[in-house]
Amino acid sequence: MDEVSTEFLAYIIGIIILIIFYIIKLPRIGANEPPLVPYTIPILGHTYNYFFNARNFFKKCKEQYGECFSIYVFGRVMTIVSRSSLNEVFINHKDFKLSLSEFLPFDMLFENISDFDKVTQLNAKLVKEITGKIDSYTSIMQKYLLEGIDKFIGDCKDPKEFLSIWELMNHIIALPMANIIVGEEVASHEDVNDTLEFYTSQPDFDYSNPKIFHYYIDVLFVLIFGSVGTTSEIITNGIFDLAGRPECLNELYEEAMIIDKECNGSITLPDVQKMKKLDSFVKEVLRHSDDTLKFLHKVTSESFTFSNGYTVPKGRRVNLYMDDVLKSKDAYGDDAEEFKPFRFVNANSSASKVDRNYAVFGGGKHACPGRFFAIHEIKLILHKLILKYNIKTKSGKIENKKYIGPISLPPKKALIFENRK
Ligand code: HEM
């Protein structure tokens, strides 16, 4: 064979391989499934829009294809579930499984754990026990939060600029978390000495068996890992939301001063409950977390049929259109898109209350059991920061979050902290 025909043959083989690959990867949609949004570029499907145009793309898809629809990303079909059906994913826990391992290599991080469901249930039980005694933890939380604020932010008589706010908040809240869960302080408080005891009193716990011992250490890390990251992200968003809105910061400062005077600087649970404006602000911060999609799940049962009649098969990735819930005009009114810090003050709707229009903590039986703890801690740290500092964005503007496709992260911009006079 001469050189030209060899080259020609290579082209033909290449094209055949591409066609076979395309046919193999062609999404197959069964009867009764949500409609697949059409796409023009084979193999790539909707991946570009998913990454670079998420907000508008999903808005348009919902307008055209309705409540549930499927898209083709990363060579696989993903079903998107909007407001009216979204809660069904949380409620039907046995049919759907949260698919965190698609983002984080959990198996590598926690190699002593094989059954994450079992660990989650154990930790959920522990967190419910801790929540029942949240008042006992308030003084420890307060002590270590103040220590963290002093250590990592300190005296800002001369204004100080901070760049990595999320990292800063992680450092500050790790202190109270670690001291509540494993610190020496815990041992001296009889009331609150039950966290480690909870693990050590499990029927299979055995100090002398390294395998079991390491398993429980991993279980503890899963709890710390899950609780610190989520809480500090919301605190960081909250600080940016305050720093860009001086009038809101001033109003919260006034509330904080009244409460601080009443309790003489030593906060208890009832004092945190009195922080109505701060609670409303925190709820608005959570509502504006700004993830278009969140909480990717996988269908674990043979198939699942939503109450709207659509069926999704086993293994299907189901992502939740959170923006559709949290910015719903039906639920929040025509100004749903606006950040209104005090919109919940007289609404009898606290930041930790689970509601199908406020799905930030999930829903149903498995809704986040740590939400009371998280909101308590978020309010406590914001209260202390608001009392101590005037906080501004360096730019003088409200800073935008960072977006990675449909996921949002806190802004990565500079903030200025200055002591209050
Ligand atoms: C603002 C911070 C937090 C957010 C936004 C958050 C959100 C969530 C969400 C969405 C779920 C899944 C619910 C479901 O599958 O229906 C969850 C589960 C869980 N969270 Fe949180 N969480 C936060 C803080 C915490 C904290 C501080 C703790 C522990 C002290 C915690 C412990 C747990 C546990 C143990 C589960 C598993 C519950 C179960 O499957 O029964 N979370 N959280």
> For residue 366, what is the DSSP state?
G
Distance CA 219, CA 129 (A): 16
Q: How far is CA 276 from CA 68, 265, 406, in A?
A: 37, 18, 31
| Tens of pLDDT, residues 375-389 | 999 999 999 999 999
Q: Which residue lies with its CA nearest to atom 21 of ligand 1?
A: 368
Domains, the chain, ordered by start: 1-109+296-338 (no CATH), 112-288+353-421 (1.10.630.10)
H helix runs in 66-115, sequence order: 83-91, 106-109
* CA diameter of the chain: 94
Distance 369 CA to ligand 1 centre (A): 6
Distance 230 CA to ligand 1 centre (A): 8
Distance CA 203, CA 191 (A): 22
Residue type, 47: T
**Position 23 confidence tier, pLDDT thresholds 50, 70, 90:** low
Tokens representing residue 369 in the block:
């059991």
Q: How far is CA 303 from CA 21, 28, 81, 101, 298, in A?
A: 27, 15, 15, 21, 11
Mutation to probe ligand 1, out of 368, 379, 381 (largest number of atoms < 8 A from CB):
368
| Tens of pLDDT, residues 246-266 | 999 999 999 999 999 999 999
Q: Which residues pair with 389 in a beta bridge?
A: 419
Q: Which residue lies with its CA nearest to atom 22 of ligand 1?
A: 368
Among 154, 155, 140, 247, CA closest to 193 = 140
Distance 405 CA to ligand 1 centre (A): 23
pLDDT of 192 above 70: no
The residue with greater pLDDT, 113 or 338, is 338
| Tens of pLDDT, residues 316-330 | 999 999 999 999 999
Binding residues for heme: 368
**Position 1 confidence tier, pLDDT thresholds 50, 70, 90:** low
Helices (H) and strands (E) in the chain, counts: 17, 12
Is this model's pTM higher than 0.85 or not?
A: yes
Distance CA 263, CA 268 (A): 8
Buried b vs exposed e over 241-280: b needs ≥16 C-beta within 10 Å?
Answer: bbbbbeebbebbbebbeebbeeeeeebeeebbebbebbbb
Distance CA 393, CA 10 (A): 59
| Percentage of the chain lying above the pLDDT 90 cut | 70
| Tens of pLDDT, residues 260-294 | 999 999 999 999 999 999 999 999 999 999 999 99
Tokens representing residue 329 in the block:
């005009």
Contact residues of ligand 1, CB 6 A cut-off: 90, 98, 120, 123-124, 127, 226-227, 230-231, 234, 295, 360-363, 366-370, 373-374
| Per-residue model confidence (pLDDT) at position 19 | 73
| Per-residue model confidence (pLDDT) at position 60 | 97
Distance 5 CA to ligand 1 centre (A): 62
| Per-residue model confidence (pLDDT) at position 183 | 59
